[in-house]
Copies of this chain bind each other. A is one copy, B any other.
């Protein structure tokens, strides 16, 4: 089933201890789309300015990504982010951010997309997430991300969004902030009580936790030495998860566990290069080989 994603599409500049990349393609919906399009066709809904470079559009179009929901707004400029990672690579420091077109009205949903059966609402204002969700005919799978800004300042709206989704994928700091629970197993349960049927908490290099009504399960990160640029790891994880679930057509506990493997592998690839350099030509064969390696590694019986 086709998978719809909406979120940011941007032009990034990033520096890490391994180097720097300037004016490269980025944004939550972009990283998600590259990962998810390995599994199912992806419908990308977002808005850029008239400065959005043609080569970036071509990079997206070269994958299994439908761009009829990509609005190029005349007179506007594309979202830009400049980030920096220190030695620990754990969290980006935002050096500069220009919201540009993201501060204007949201993207319009192409009418043909209303039948999308799965949707990922990447991090944006919770009200915009809910508005987009409301334009769909009733997806089987609706998953959202969020961030500290909305947890702190738009809590009521975020809670309404959480009541409307099937699942949520967020990081450890966000889960703790949302629930005021230090223990992440408690945090996962607390979020489950807010509405979603499943909660995935991302812990960076330490892997992820999954909480459902059946309890909590943990998964380690893929052990990797070669972290060149962590940007997009979380959105690639979500892309692997949603892509796999959409292809499977179900989201029971075993499917969710397997989806987390694909999310983990998607994240492990994207961090091996700056921006999308490692994943833009990545093949499904490479993914499947690493999935097999990781799945074998997980076994301990």
Contacts and interface: CB of A to CB of B under 8 A. Distances in A.
Interface of A: 87-89, 182-186, 189, 203, 205-207, 209, 215-225, 227, 257-258, 260-261, 295, 297-301
B185 A219 contact: no
A186 B223 CA distance: 10
Contact of A300 (B87, B203, B295): B295
A257 B223 CA distance: 15
A183 to B, nearest CB: 6
Contacts of A223: 185, 209, 215-218
Nearest to A203: B206
B300 A261 contact: yes
A185 B218 contact: no
A227 B183 contact: yes
A299 B297 contact: no
B225 A300 contact: no
A160 to B, nearest CB: 27
Contacts of A258: 300-301
A247 B23 CA distance: 58
A228 to B, nearest CB: 12
Contacts of A205: 184
Nearest to A297: B217
A218 to B, nearest CB: 3
A182 B17 CA distance: 12
A46 B210 CA distance: 43
Contacts of A225: 183, 185-186, 189
Nearest to A204: B206
A87 B182 contact: yes
Contacts of A215: 223
Given A183-B225, A206-B207, A295-B300, 5 more contacts: A186-B225, A216-B223, A218-B222, A298-B299, A299-B299
